[in-house]
């Protein structure tokens, strides 16, 4: 979750009971909060009607709490540590593109130095590139340095074709950051569940509204096929 939202706790409750209803097994729900409000920490949702009470509590992880552990995050081999560091640096450099360039350059270097397979490099690179956006001049400079890193290490991970695809996605995705973020997250979840996405599905995700993304995300919890997520009804 990337911003304060009065309906967030209710959605956590809804996702949890839908999964329980489908699989008839205890479900653990964890909220990862990526907003910039230190005191916003929703952790429960309660219903009460005619003496019947239902209280749903869930653990919360606040990414801002890791701000003083950036050094640990940069050396941690867990891919999520690198993504968390990217988020924190993005928040820290909101009005300082020069500093963001330096942090992004460093994280890309760390990404390439982990010894991960090519697909993981590409997946994580796409996330870092989306999170830590730079002005055009700094972006071009970064790509030059990435090319130098790849040539020095004989690691042709981000080809010119993939770079153009990322750039096209950025140009086409000049919508609200939350919409773009939800589309990116949903795409990752769909790939993990159903495999590579057809071009038509990628196009629908790129052009989707916030409401559509939320509806598809809810369907993903129960859908047995990719078509079931996107079917019109």
Q: Whole-number mean pLDDT of the chain? A: 84
Asked whether 47 and 54 are in contact (CB, 8 A), the reply is: yes
Higher model confidence: residue 232 or residue 139? Answer: 139
pLDDT for res 86: 94
Cα–Cα distance, 152 to 211 (Å, whole number): 45
Answer whether residue 149 shows pLDDT above 80.
no
Which position has the token pair 């990414």? Answer: 63
Task: Give tens-digit pLDDT for 164-211.
Answer: 556 655 555 454 556 777 788 788 888 888 888 888 888 888 888 888
Question: The dihedral of CA 129, 80, 229, 179: what is its sign?
Answer: negative
Answer whether residue 160 shows pLDDT above 60.
no
pLDDT for res 49: 92
What are phi and psi for residue 53, nearest 5 degrees?
-125, 135
pTM of the model: 0.62
What are phi and psi for residue 181, nearest 5 degrees?
-65, -45
Answer whether residue 14 shows pLDDT above 50.
yes
- 146 pLDDT band, cuts 50/70/90, is confident
pLDDT for res 60: 95
Average pLDDT of span 121-126 = 83
Answer whether residue 19 shows pLDDT above 60.
yes
pLDDT for res 194: 87
Least confident of 87-101, 141-155, 182-196: 141-155
Distance of CA 2 to the CA centre of its chain: 10
pLDDT for res 161: 44
In terms of residues, how long is the chain?
233
Answer whether residue 46 shows pLDDT above 70.
yes
Question: The dihedral of CA 127, 128, 132, 138: what is its sign?
Answer: negative
Which position has the token pair 């052009």? Answer: 207
Answer whether residue 28 shows pLDDT above 90.
yes
Q: Please give the DSSP secondary-structure letter assigned to residue 63.
A: G
pLDDT for res 156: 62
Torsion angle of the four alpha carbons 34, 39, 42, 47, in this order, in degrees rounded to the nearest 10 = -150
Max avg pLDDT among 2-11, 37-46, 108-117, 212-221? 37-46
- 233 pLDDT band, cuts 50/70/90, is low
Answer whether residue 221 shows pLDDT above 60.
yes
pLDDT for res 198: 86
208 Cβ contact partners less than 8 Å away, ≥ 6 residues apart: 179, 183, 216
Q: Please give the DSSP secondary-structure letter assigned to residue 208.
A: -
Cα–Cα distance, 95 to 206 (Å, whole number): 27
Q: How many CB atoms lie within 10 A of CB 227?
A: 10
Share of the chain above pLDDT 70, in %: 86
Asked whether 89 and 69 are in contact (CB, 8 A), the reply is: no
């Amino acid at each position: 979750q990337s911003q304060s939202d009065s309906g967030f706790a209710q959605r956590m409750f809804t996702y949890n009971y839908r999964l329980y209803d489908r699989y008839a097994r205890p479900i653990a729900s964890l909220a990862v909060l990526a907003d910039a409000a230190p005191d916003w920490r929703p952790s429960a949702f309660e219903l009460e009607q005619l003496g019947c009470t239902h209280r749903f509590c869930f653990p919360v992880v606040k990414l801002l709490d890791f701000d003083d552990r950036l050094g640990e995050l940069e050396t941690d081999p867990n891919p999520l540590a690198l993504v968390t560091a990217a988020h924190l640096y993005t928040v820290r450099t909101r009005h300082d593109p020069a500093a963001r360039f330096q942090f992004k350059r460093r994280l890309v270097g760390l990404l390439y130095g982990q010894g991960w397979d090519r697909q993981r490099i590409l997946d994580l690179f796409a996330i870092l590139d989306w999170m830590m956006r730079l002005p055009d001049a700094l972006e071009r400079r970064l790509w030059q340095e990435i090319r130098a890193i790849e040539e020095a290490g004989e690691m042709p991970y981000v080809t010119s074709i993939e770079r153009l695809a990322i750039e096209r996605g950025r140009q086409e995705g000049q919508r609200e950051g939350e919409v773009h973020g939800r589309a990116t997250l949903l795409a990752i979840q769909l790939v993990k569940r159903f495999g590579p996405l057809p071009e038509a599905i990628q196009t629908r995700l790129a052009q989707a509204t916030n409401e559509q993304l939320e509806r598809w995300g809810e369907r993903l919890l129960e859908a047995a096929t990719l078509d079931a997520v996107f079917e019109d009804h």
